[in-house]
Structures are given as C-alpha cells and as structure tokens.
Amino acid sequence: MREVTLRVRHRGGPESEVSARHPEVTLRSVSSMTGTGAERKRIVELRGPTDEIESFLTEFRRADPVVSAEPISPIDGGRVYVALIIDTDDWEGIGERLSDLGVHFRMGTTISGGIERWTVYLDADADLSALIRGLERGGNDVELARNVELSTLDRSPKLPAAGILDGLTDRQREVLATAIAIGYYDHGGGVGVEDVAAELGIGSTTAWEHLSRAESTVMNALFDRFEEWGLPGEHGAERDGGAGGDARR
C-alpha cells in the first residue's frame, strides 16, 4: 500500500477558482458530503484575514453550484466554520471523482492559492498514471507531491489520549464521543450533524459549535505533540512564520 499526495488545480471548481483569487484564505474540509439528492451538505473551515474571508464568501456564494454558504461561527480571530449546500448536478468535486475511481482518500483536504491537496491510498500494483489522467479530465492540473510505501513511514508512539482531551469541556467531550459512537466520522457512513444533534436532543447549530470547537482543540493539541517530536516540518514553519504569528488565534 502506498500513500500518495497530489496537488490538484481543479479547473471550474468553485472552491479552487475562488481560492486562486483569494490566496490569503485557506479552506479546510471538516466533514464529508451528506445527503442523498442533488443538494449535498458539508462543513468547511476558512482561515485568513477577516476581510479576505468575507470577500471569499461573497464571491463563493455567486458560483452556480453553490446553493448557500452560511457561517455557523463568528467571523473573527482569523477563522470561521461555514455550512455549505452544493448542487452536485452542476459540479463534480475531486472527492467525488476519487470515489468513482474506487480510490481511498484522507478527509480534511485543504485548498490554498487555488491548489487542492489530496492524500490517497493505493495498492502496490495500482496504476498511479491512470489515476492522474482520470483527475486531469476537464483540464485539471495534477502534480505528484509525495509517493511512499506505508511500510517505510515512521510511526510515532501512541498519543496519550488524556492529554489530548484535557482542553475539552464536559459538553464538548459528550458531543464528540456521541459523534464517534454513531459513526459521524466514518467515511461514507451518511451520518450528519443532524443525527448527532438528534441523539443528544439539541439543535444542529449547537451540535456544530460543540463539535467544531472540540475538533479544533484536539487538532491543535495533536499539532503541539507533533512539534515536540520535530514534526510536521513545513507545516510548522507555515504556522510560525506567518505575519499573524500563531495561526490558531
């Protein structure tokens, strides 16, 4: 099994096109697509200067496939979570194309400067060139960034879970645990935030707020652990070297 990272310029994709015109904003997918009809829902995180995020959203809403793009957290501190509804009849995302090709991929794709970064997992005998050709349909540009055997990757020791979860409130722990238990984070499971909210008897927006804050806390704690081990290299440099200092603020 190989872990392959691809940089994709998705021509005509609203996220990539708007991102190319707003390079100071980074978009990160924080949920899979949910829904069974043409209109699909998902949540993304936008990071960058507040005025650039607002401009990004204004332009993104004008794209034909975008039904709505509504913030579910305040646009301040250089970060906002946005609930998207996309008409998939008018748009084929890279994730959908990878699924059609039968390729496993990692969630949490980021888009910056118009470039989508995708990590996929291929069998040793899989045809990488054929995969790239499949993604290049429609004029997309695809660049191979990384191609390694999983067996050669260094595996870090197990993370102490208690330390990672220390920053969560009791309510955030409850919501996060419920989401995990009912399969919210299972790829292709079809479980949405509405299901998490129903399980807990709370509103969908409230569930999203608890989950997004819990996810951010856990991810930042993991990042700090990685830095202790001297990882992840270029990403750490990006976070520390930017004009804004600590990108989490």
Could you list the pLDDT tens digit for every one of the 249 residues in the chain? 888 999 999 998 889 999 999 999 989 888 766 766 778 888 888 988 999 999 999 999 999 889 999 998 888 778 888 999 988 776 778 888 898 888 988 877 889 899 999 989 999 889 999 999 999 988 999 999 888 887 765 555 444 555 667 777 888 888 888 888 777 877 666 778 888 888 888 888 888 888 888 888 887 777 665 555 555 444 444 444 444 444 333
End-to-end CA distance of the chain: 37
- How far, CA to CA in Å, does 102 sit from each of 97, 125, 210? 9, 14, 33
Q: What is the pLDDT of residue 188?
A: 62
Q: Alpha helices, DSSP H only, in the chain?
A: 14-21, 50-61, 94-100, 128-136, 161-165, 170-181, 193-200, 204-228, 234-241
Helix-helix angle 234-241:204-228, to 10 degrees:
110
Parts of the chain belonging to CATH 1.10.10: 161-241
Q: What is the pLDDT of residue 201?
A: 83
**How far is C-alpha 72 from the geometric centre of its chain's CA atoms?**
16
Are 33 and 2 in contact by the 8 Å Cβ rule? The answer is: no
State the residue for tokens 């888009």.
111
Cis bond before residue 232 (omega within 30° of 0) = yes
CATH class of this structure's domain 161-241: mainly alpha
